[in-house]
Structure 1
Amino acid sequence: MSKADMLPTELAGPYIAELKKEDSNGLPSLTIISNEPVRVSGQATFSFYIYRPKHLPALP
């Protein structure tokens, strides 16, 4: 769960957990390759790279 005082980099874990618990489109099968803090236009945020097995159907 997110809180108003959380830093963007602290939100990465809960965001990824929400994606993975979805029951549609194979999202639980995602594998996180990396999760790193980054800056975009001077603002702190996060970037993550995912892997999804090819044998799963295409995402919409």
Structure 2
Amino acid sequence: MLKCVRKQLVDFLNDGKFGNPASDEDFASSDFAPVTNLSCEHHFGDLDSSQKRRPNAS
């Protein structure tokens, strides 16, 4: 399992590309980004239920 983690997550380990702590500038530039994708999933759920209720509506 450890071999698999080292192979797949090499960029996120201590010596990897993303292994260093983020700077204050990085935090400021990503402050607007949502933490999860739940808001996007909510819209797709609404669309799905709408299409099931009225399949012929455009």
Question: Which has the larger share of strand?
Answer: 1
Q: Larger relative CO (CA 8 A, sep 6+): 1 or 2? A: 1
**Shared topology, TM-score over 0.5?**
no
Q: TM-score range by the shorter chain?
A: under 0.3
More helix by share: 2
Query: With structure 1 as the length reference, what TM-score do the two structures score?
Result: 0.26
